Chain A
Amino acid sequence: MTSIKDLSSILKSVQKPGRYIGGEMHSIVKDKENISLRFALCFPDVYEIGMSNLGSRLLYHTLNQDPAIWCERVYAPAEDMKAQMEKHGIPLTAIESGEDVKAFDILGFSLHYELCYTTVLSMLKLAGIPLLSKDRKEDEPIILGGGPCAYNSEPMADFFDLMNIGEGEELLSDICHLYMQMKADGTYSRSAFLRRAAAEIEGVYVPSLYDVTYNEDGTIAAYTPKFPDVPKKVKKRIVKDLDKAPYPDKLVMPYIETVHDRITLEIYRGCIRGCRFCQAGMIYRPIREKSPQTLCKAAKCLFENTGYDEISLISLSTSDYSRLRELTDLLLEWTDDAHVSLSLPSLRLDSFSEELMQKISSVRTGGLTFAPEAGTQRLRDVINKNVTEEDLLRSVRIAFRGGKSSVKLYFMNGLPTETYEDIEGIAKTAKRVIDTYYELPREERPSGLGVTVSVACFVPKPFTAFQWEKQDSFESLIKKQSYLRGCITDRRIKYNYHEAKVSFIEAVLTRGDRRLAPAIAAAVEAGAYLDAWEEGFSFDRWMRAFASAGVDPAYYTTRGFGLDEVLPWDVIDCGITKQFLKREREKAYKGETTPACSEHCSGCGASALGGKTRWCK
């Protein structure tokens, strides 16, 4: 056990030592004598990021509700701390107990972003746990992963014992219970446990139980389960009724500032929109809402137990919550008196109203963000972003009138069918936002106008209508970025863009298959760590790692995937059918839009997963 005393000399020589001390209010400490299973919820990023993660907050609460399980938190030490730990031989420890995670039963990693893969492996190394699943001994922990990247975790398949496909609340409990049961009745061995988990628990994917074969041209021939009781396709697990799902009544209160240092209320899961580039919009379907009453009760309880002065209503598109008005009214009944402000991120342009504006007017941040995603109506129709320029200008007008003077606009470069006209459209749209400001009577204009154009690079994601598309080469993306810079002549427009090379690596990892594992291991060997941070990322290191492992990154990016090709993520059934995605792809090329689920059900397939949904037919 590493105590704070042992760490104290080191803590005095690292940045932000508060990240490592634990002991926060509402952190859960149990008597380990009465525990059957020790679970380490591992977040492959630093404390401030991990502590803000809604999914981790949910799972920490859910698992710890079980008296037989002690779930603790583990975060990635920052670079300087990692160096000190390596120098002094201090292993990776869990926050609550300060104990070595190697002695735990299960380590569950949150895979929220592909670029965290190298951090996952570095954390295993720090913990002294073999990287490859097949090298782990009987008494070493089970390593599992979950979160959005689990939907195509093939690049990490060799490192993980088990993947959670879908929502973790019930799934993780089932996995833990099977583990405890097998330990208790003496039938546990790694292989017996993994086999039973795969066969008996919906949503469990055990990569080692599948043989993958390849065609001569390198494409995948087939995924074949090694045993008849292992499912051919692993079906996503969902929580059927969110009103009945566990929700934390307390939050671990960080002593240091975290990125989302506030109460986050998840108001629904899924998305009615169906933007064709958006993975989240597909993999979290079907749409399941929580009732305003459930939410308000949870919010009140969380406020009393935390003392936070801000509640953020979280979802993929807040204004699409069908009972938003009812909810905000209920909340405003007490939040004003309690000096608590509401924030509603992820608002859609077409629903942005004066009324909503007033409800969020108490939010401190001066700025508002809008995401038109593309610069012309033509391209917005291709990607099924059903908003018009008029929607945007109307919204910014309301925002300006409401006293918000800085507006941030999100776009994407490299979308399928994009032309230079579309790119120029981005600059024009931003200019029109500025014009809208000056069209307002002087007394209605807030001071300090600022328009930021932030442009990401398109990454064709699994389980989207664009999953087969090629990614633009990064040379082409860089050219487009500098073209756009040339188009933006107004000095009041601030332009920033994502590093095209980062998006390229992201695309390789999100579309990759099992053959990538040696490359990821090589990147870690070469020092890749906290890759999701600009300081941690090195394109050249990645390219060297690909080369050393004989991987051609272009195969996964600029090549595009054939419509009949077996995709690495075909082994997963996320509910959305391939037929639907193909249909959506065809419509994209014709520039046809698909209505939101609230207007018309387009039969995406997600309804087959069940669940208390509002719109699904």
Chain B
Amino acid sequence: MVQVKNLPYITLRFKFYKKGALQYISHLDLVRTMHKIIVRAGFPLWYTEGFNPKPKLIFGAPLSIGCESDCEFLDVRLVERMNESDAIAALNQNMTEEMQVTEAYYTDGKFSDMAYLGYDFRFSLVDGTRALESIAACLEREEILIKKQGKSGKEKVMKTVNIKPQIHSAKVYADGEEICIRAILSADPASFLNPEHLVSVLKNECGILKEENLAKESYSILRTDAYKKDLSPFV
């Protein structure tokens, strides 16, 4: 493989959404898919050195399966500057409707500056009014405990973890037939909170989304914003 060593690069950042059925695509599969999209788009890509050169793609906070997002970030290294709107058009042509780029800009910023992520949860429940009260009570507790698989030495053990400190804020309200939660959760890699964990707390504590009600009940999670430490928008 031909590889010119030590080429300088510039970083083009894309903000995109990933919605609808694409919520079922895992982060790993997204990475794989994105590699092919970027190659199809014909960008002047910067390649890693070595035996098996690859373009360098860096993603913002991973999104778990079952979660939609309006606010995903991807950094792509280029060897040559290209016009931002051309880049957006080239990418969007190579992606399906449920995933499209909304912004592109050159940056030196780091994803480690991302401290919080905002989420909208929506539940359609058989008994919404009752759920609303118990969800509110649950979110106000001093401690919100979940059971998580962890490690003790080499062995896998179930650990109980308090996720309250990872919840910056969470408000529950009714919107028509649906029960909604607006939450800002930690995005810091050391204390990242998977929004599904919040749902599983509510499942266990508030008796919602029981297996036998699956056909009637459902929920959605949408990642809406990213914030810096001081709660200013992350760009």
Assembly CA distance A364 to B53 (angstroms):
11
A327-359 CB mask vs B (1 if < 8 Å, else 0) is 000000000110100000000000000000000
With A18-B25, A337-B2 in contact, do A305 and B215 touch (Cβ < 8 Å)? no
A193 close to B (CB within 8 Å): no
The A/B interface has a contact count, at CB < 8 Å, of 78
Residues on B with beta carbons closer than 8 Å to the beta carbon of A253? 33, 36
Q: Which residues of chain B are near A4, meaning CB under 8 Å? A: 20-21
Is A362's CB under 8 angstroms from B24's CB?
A: no
The smallest C-beta distance from B59 to any residue of chain A, in angstroms, reads 15
- Once the chains bind, are A23 and B39 in contact (CB under 8 Å)? no
Given A18-B25, A21-B22, A362-B1 in contact, is the A339-B215 Cβ separation under 8 Å? no
Closest chain A CB from B25 CB (angstroms): 5
- Does A10 contact B24, Cβ atoms closer than 8 Å? no
* CB-CB contacts below 8 Å: A11-40 with B: 11-13, 17-18, 20-25
B1-32 vs A, CB cutoff 8 Å, 1 = contact: the mask equals 11000000000000000001110111001101
Min CB–CB distance B60 → chain A (angstroms) = 19
**A23 touching B98, Cβ below 8 Å:** yes
A255 at the interface (CB under 8 A from B): yes
Give the interface centre of A21, A306, A364 by most chain B CB atoms within 10 Å: A21
Counting CB contacts under 8 A, is B38 at the interface? yes
* B152 contacts chain A at the CB level, 8 A cutoff: no
- In residues 231-261 of chain A, which contact B (Cβ within 8 Å)? 253, 255-257, 261
Contacts A8-B218, A25-B96 given; indicate if A304 touches B40 (C-beta within 8 A).
yes
The answer to whether B40 touches A307, judged by C-beta atoms less than 8 angstroms apart, is yes
**Residues of chain A lying within 8 A (CB to CB) of residue B24:** 11, 17-18, 20-21
Category for how many chain A residues contact B: 20 to 34
Q: Given the known inter-chain contacts A9-B217, A9-B218, A307-B40, please indicate yes or no for A339 contacting B47, CB distance below 8 A.
A: yes
Chain A residue with the shortest CB-CB distance to B94 = A25
Say how far A53's CB is from chain B's closest CB, in angstroms. 19
Per-position 1/0 for A399-413, Cβ under 8 A of B: 000000000000000
- List the A side residues contacting B202 at CB < 8 Å: none
Assuming the A-B contacts A17-B24, A23-B21, A336-B2, are A9 and B36 also in contact, with contact meaning beta carbons closer than 8 angstroms in the complex?
Answer: no
Query: Given A253-B36, A307-B39, is A9 in contact with B214 using a C-beta cutoff of 8 Å?
Result: yes
Give the contacts of B26-80 with A (CB-CB under 8 A). 26, 29-30, 32-33, 35-40, 47, 52-54, 65-66
Residue of B nearest to A27 (CB): B96
Assess whether A88 is interfacial by the CB under 8 Å rule: yes
In the docked arrangement, what's the CA distance between A261 and B32, Å? 10
User: Is A309 close to B, CB under 8 A?
Assistant: yes
Q: A13 touching B214 by the CB < 8 A rule?
A: yes
Neighbouring B residues of A18 by C-beta, 8 Å: 24-26, 29
> Is the beta-carbon distance between A339 and B1 smaller than 8 angstroms?
yes
Cβ of A561 under 8 Å from chain B: no
Q: Which residue on A lies nearest to B29, using beta carbons? A: A256
How far is B39's CA from A364's CA once the two chains are assembled, in angstroms?
19
Q: Does B95 contact A (CB under 8 A)?
A: yes
Q: In the complex, A257→B27 CA distance in Å? A: 12
Residue of B whose beta carbon sits closest to that of A12: B66
**Separation of A23 and B53 alpha carbons in the complex (Å):** 30
Is B1's CB under 8 angstroms from A255's CB?
no
Closest to A90 in B: B215
Residue contacts A-B, CB under 8 angstroms, 24 given: A4-B21, A8-B218, A9-B215, A11-B66, A18-B25, A18-B26, A23-B20, A23-B98, A25-B94, A25-B96, A88-B214, A255-B22, A255-B25, A256-B29, A257-B29, A257-B32, A261-B32, A305-B40, A306-B36, A306-B40, A307-B35, A309-B35, A339-B54, A364-B52
- Pairs of residues from A and B, 3 with the lowest C-beta to C-beta distance, nearest first: A307-B36, A307-B39, A21-B21
- Interface contacts beyond A18-B26, A21-B21, A307-B35: sample of 17 additional A-B pairs, CB < 8 Å, sorted by A: A8-B218, A9-B215, A10-B214, A12-B66, A12-B218, A18-B29, A21-B24, A23-B96, A23-B97, A25-B96, A253-B33, A257-B32, A261-B32, A306-B36, A307-B94, A339-B47, A362-B1
